[in-house]
Amino acid sequence: MKSNRFCGALGCAAVLFSLPAMAQWVHMAGEDDPFAGGSQQFAGGVAETGEMVMFRCTSDNDLALLYVSIERPPDEAEIMRVLAAAKAELLVIVDEDPVVALPAIIDMTPDRERLRYVSEHPAVEKLATRAAAAKRRVAVAVQIGGKRIYSTAINARGSGKAMGKLTKACKLGD
């Protein structure tokens, strides 16, 4: 029984870890949340190194850009409080467009396994539209205190389809 569960978990892990090679961009829809204005939508990609760049929304009034690093959050609560108070920015380049700098907050993923950088700046809507039309890449970097600490680029393959579903579901650009 235990070995069957282990084999099943191993099989699921193999499928999940092979997803970035099969598709650069994905779209996921969550359950309906009437308090948030609809079902939560996610569209984004995973870099070969494991970082994730995701757009998340429930409506045109609830839109965010997320960069999920491969770095684990610090164990000490005090260090996490200092990080959360740091002046962070997400720097975004779509194809060959100029860099767009967005203020971001630092927190943890819900499973508390990874650091995440989130921007809810109004310019995210335009970036979502640009990502949907990207031909080459969507690149995102994290900058803290003027120093770039992470950067990744996600191939644009599949961004139109994934982002199209998100923009339609959240009524972006209406």
List the chain pLDDT tens, one digit each, 174 residues: 333 332 333 233 333 344 444 448 999 998 887 777 778 999 999 998 899 999 999 876 889 999 999 988 887 777 777 777 788 999 999 999 999 999 999 988 889 899 999 999 999 999 999 999 999 999 999 999 899 999 999 999 999 999 999 999 888 876
Is residue 165 classed as helix, strand or coil in its secondary structure? helix
Q: Report the distance separating Cα 124 and Cα 111, nearest Å.
A: 25
Q: Report the distance separating Cα 168 and Cα 25, nearest Å.
A: 16
Tokens (6 digits) for 71: 């770095």
| CATH number listed for the domain at residues 24-169 | 2.60.40.1880
* Non-local CB neighbours of 58 within 8 Å, separated by 6+ positions: 33, 36, 37, 38, 39, 40, 41, 170
12 neighbors 5 (Cβ within 8 angstroms): no
Q: What is the DSSP letter of 87?
A: -
Give the count of beta carbons closer than 10 Å to the beta carbon of residue 9.
Answer: 10
Residue 167's Cβ-count burial label (10 Å; 0-12, 13-18, 19+) is buried
Is residue 147 classed as helix, strand or coil in its secondary structure? strand
Task: Give the per-residue pLDDT at 156.
Answer: 94
134 neighbors 93 (Cβ within 8 angstroms): no
Helices (H), 46-117: 77-85
Q: Report the distance separating Cα 133 and Cα 159, nearest Å.
A: 7
- Delimit the domains of the chain by residue range: 24-169
pTM value is 0.81
Single-letter code of the amino acid located at 133: A
